[in-house]
Amino acid sequence: MSDNMITGKKHSTTPLPQILLLFLLFMPLIYLLGDSITQLANEPELLRLAFPTERRFRLLLNSLKLATTVSVSVTVIGVLAGSKLVYEQTPAWKSIKWIFLLTAPVPPYIHALVWSGMISNINQLIKPIGLSLSGFGFSMSYLVDTMAYLPLGVGLAMVGYTLVETPAVEAARLYKKDLTVFIEVVLPLASPMILAAMGFVFIQAITDYSIPTLYSYSVYSLEIFSEFSASNNPVHSIWLSSPIFLITFTVLVASLRGLRNTVQSSSISRSESLQDWSLPGWASTVQTLAVMVTLVQVIFLIGGLVIETGSITSLYYAVEAATDDLYTSSIIGLSGALLGGGLGYILSEQLGKSGYWWILISLPLALPSAIVGIGLIDIYSTWAPWLYGTMAMPIIAVTTRFVPLATIIVYTQRKRVDPLLFEAAELFKKKRLQDLWQVKIPLQKYGLAAGVATLAAFSIGELGSTLLVVPPGSETLTIRIFNYLHYGGSEEVAGLCLLVVTLMMCMSGIAFKTYSGGTNG
| Least confident range of 16-30, 184-198, 364-378 | 16-30
- At 18, is the pLDDT very low, low, confident or very high (cuts 50, 70, 90)? low
Please list the alpha-helical segments (H only) found in 8-136. 16-20, 27-42, 55-87, 91-95, 108-126
SS3 444: helix
- At 269, is the pLDDT very low, low, confident or very high (cuts 50, 70, 90)? very low
Q: Which of 323, 308, 328 is nearest to 495 (CA)?
A: 308
CA 214, 220, 221, 223 torsion-angle sign: positive
pLDDT (mean) for 97-112: 86
- Per-residue pLDDT for 3 more than 50? no
Confidence at residue 59, expressed as pLDDT on a 0 to 100 scale = 94
81 and 103 both lie in a single domain: yes
- Per-residue pLDDT for 6 more than 60? no
Confidence at residue 19, expressed as pLDDT on a 0 to 100 scale = 62
Give domain status of residue 35, yes or no: no
This prediction has a pTM of 0.87
Query: Angle 473-464-364 (CA atoms, 0-180°, nearest 5)?
Result: 125
pLDDT (mean) for 88-116: 81
**Domain end among 269, 301, 333:** 301
Please tell me the distance from the alpha carbon of residue 64 to that of residue 49, in angstroms, as a whole number. Answer: 18
Give domain status of residue 51, yes or no: yes
Confidence at residue 26, expressed as pLDDT on a 0 to 100 scale = 72
Share of the chain above pLDDT 70, in %: 87
**Domain end among 263, 279, 301:** 301
CA terminus-to-terminus distance, the chain: 23
Q: Which of 405, 510, 516, 396 is nearest to 453 (CA)?
A: 510
**Domain end among 301, 326, 342:** 301
- Per-residue pLDDT for 4 more than 50? no
- At 50, is the pLDDT very low, low, confident or very high (cuts 50, 70, 90)? confident
Give domain status of residue 58, yes or no: yes
CB contact at 8 A, 93 and 464: no
296 and 354 both lie in a single domain: no
Residue 14 per-residue DSSP state: P
pLDDT (mean) for 201-216: 91
Q: What is the pLDDT of residues 388-404, one digit of tens each?
A: 989 999 999 999 999 99
- Per-residue pLDDT for 63 more than 90? yes
105 and 243 both lie in a single domain: yes
431 and 470 both lie in a single domain: yes
450 and 323 both lie in a single domain: yes
* Helix %, strand %, coil % of the chain (to 5): 80, 0, 20
Confidence at residue 489, expressed as pLDDT on a 0 to 100 scale = 58
Confidence at residue 244, expressed as pLDDT on a 0 to 100 scale = 93
Average pLDDT, the chain: 84
* pLDDT higher at 275 or 255: 255
Give domain status of residue 279, yes or no: yes
Q: How many CB atoms lie within 10 A of CB 28?
A: 26
Q: What is the pLDDT of residues 127-146, one digit of tens each?
A: 888 888 888 899 999 999 99
Share of the chain above pLDDT 90, in %: 31
Instruction: Give the phi and the psi of residue 388 in degrees, each rounded to 5.
Output: -65, 135
Confidence at residue 144, expressed as pLDDT on a 0 to 100 scale = 94
* pLDDT higher at 74 or 414: 74
256 and 202 both lie in a single domain: yes
Give the orientation angle of helix 234-264 with respect to helix 187-207, to 10 degrees: 160
pLDDT (mean) for 294-303: 90
Please tell me the distance from the alpha carbon of residue 279 to that of residue 275, in angstroms, as a whole number. Answer: 12
* pLDDT higher at 452 or 486: 452
Q: Which of 283, 300, 298, 268 is nearest to 79 (CA)?
A: 283
Helices (H) and strands (E) in the chain, counts: 25, 0
- Per-residue pLDDT for 1 more than 50? no
pLDDT (mean) for 475-494: 82
135 and 201 both lie in a single domain: yes
Q: What is the pLDDT of residues 356-383, one digit of tens each?
A: 888 888 888 888 888 889 889 988 888 8
Task: Give how far the C-alpha of residue 79 lies from the chain's centroid of Cα atoms, to the nearest Å.
Answer: 19
Q: What is the pLDDT of residues 151-173, one digit of tens each?
A: 999 988 888 888 787 777 778 88
292 and 439 both lie in a single domain: no
| Least confident range of 129-138, 428-437, 477-486 | 428-437
Counting the structural domains of the chain, the total is 2
Q: Indicate which CATH number applies to the domain containing 61.
A: 1.10.3720.10
Q: Which of 207, 473, 505 is nearest to 363 (CA)?
A: 207
Give domain status of residue 3, yes or no: no
- At 273, is the pLDDT very low, low, confident or very high (cuts 50, 70, 90)? very low
Confidence at residue 168, expressed as pLDDT on a 0 to 100 scale = 76
pLDDT (mean) for 59-64: 95
443 and 337 both lie in a single domain: yes
CB contact at 8 A, 254 and 195: yes
Q: Which of 464, 509, 463, 455 is nearest to 344 (CA)?
A: 455
274 and 320 both lie in a single domain: no
Please tell me the distance from the alpha carbon of residue 451 to that of residue 457, in angstroms, as a whole number. Answer: 10
Residue 23 per-residue DSSP state: I
What domain range is 266 assigned to? 46-301
Please tell me the distance from the alpha carbon of residue 323 to that of residue 392, in angstroms, as a whole number. Answer: 20
- Per-residue pLDDT for 117 more than 90? no
pLDDT (mean) for 59-72: 96
- At 423, is the pLDDT very low, low, confident or very high (cuts 50, 70, 90)? low
